[in-house]
Structures are given as C-alpha cells and as structure tokens.
Amino acid sequence: MNLDNAVWLLTGLAAVVVLLTRMRLANEESQSGHALVPRAVVNAHTLVGVVALGVWIYYLTSPDDLVGVVSLALWWIEVGLGLLILARWMTRPSKHAADTTGDSWGQGPGLSVLGHVGMLLGISFFTWVVLADKISA
C-alpha cells in the first residue's frame, strides 16, 4: 500500500469517527451517569470536524501548502475538542445520576477512547505527511 492510499484510508476512518462521535453525543442525554456536554460544544465539535474533513479532502485532491496547514490547524482543534469532551465524560459523572450505564455500542467509554486516541495518532500522521510534503501532486 502506498502512502497516498494510507492517507485516504485514514481520512475515511476520520470521517467515521466524526460521524459516530456526533451520534454518540446526541444520545448522551439518555445515558445515566454522564456529565452532560453543552449542546454548543457538541455542535462546535461536529462543525469543526466536518470543515476539517472538507478542507483536508480539498488538500488531498489539489495539494497546496497553505490549504494543508489550514486543514492541520482545523484537525488539531477537532482533536483537542474531542479529547476534552472525552475527558469530561470519563471524569465528571453527574452527582444525582445512577451509575454509568453502557450504550448499545459497547460498555463504557472504550469505543470513544479508541476513536479519539486513534484520531490523535491519525492527525499526528497527517501532520507528518503535510510537513514532509509527502502527498503526490
């Protein structure tokens, strides 16, 4: 597998993480034991993720150094927001709620940890790809 194919594969995985995170956070009100994340933060996380994905795909189809740097900045904001939301979810259960319950996607935060740590590693790889100018023109 060449490097361009690996980047496109990771781009698809990033899109899945952005989508699944939105779906999981939208479902959060029905799960007990979680500190609710304000809707504005959830919307910002989704919006930045979708914009980052769009700018990144534009960069991959017509590499331009400025577009690459802008897409990286958006990706790093997205990863930062995601990790902060995840940390809040894992460390601040509601005082008046029953114990944390699992959802239909798995028990506890395991899937979210996998997705967000994976995003951190993937965006680190994207950063290397852009800074080392590894995308084929």
Total domains, the chain = 1
Torsion angle of alpha carbons 55, 57, 62, 65, nearest 10°? 50
44 lies in some domain: yes
The whole domain housing 97 covers 3-131
Which structure tokens are listed for 79? 């990863």
In whole angstroms, give the CA distance from residue 4 to residue 95. Answer: 48
23 lies in some domain: yes
136 lies in some domain: no
- Residue 107: CB partners within 8 Å, gap ≥ 6? none
85 lies in some domain: yes
33 lies in some domain: yes
Give the pLDDT of residue 90: 76
137 lies in some domain: no
Distance set, CA 102 to CA 30, 39, 106, 115, 120 (Å): 11, 21, 6, 16, 24
pTM: 0.80
* Local confidence pLDDT in tens for the 137 residues of the chain: 688 899 999 999 999 988 887 887 766 555 544 556 777 888 898 999 999 999 999 999 988 889 999 999 999 999 999 888 888 877 765 554 444 455 555 556 777 788 889 999 999 999 999 999 888 76
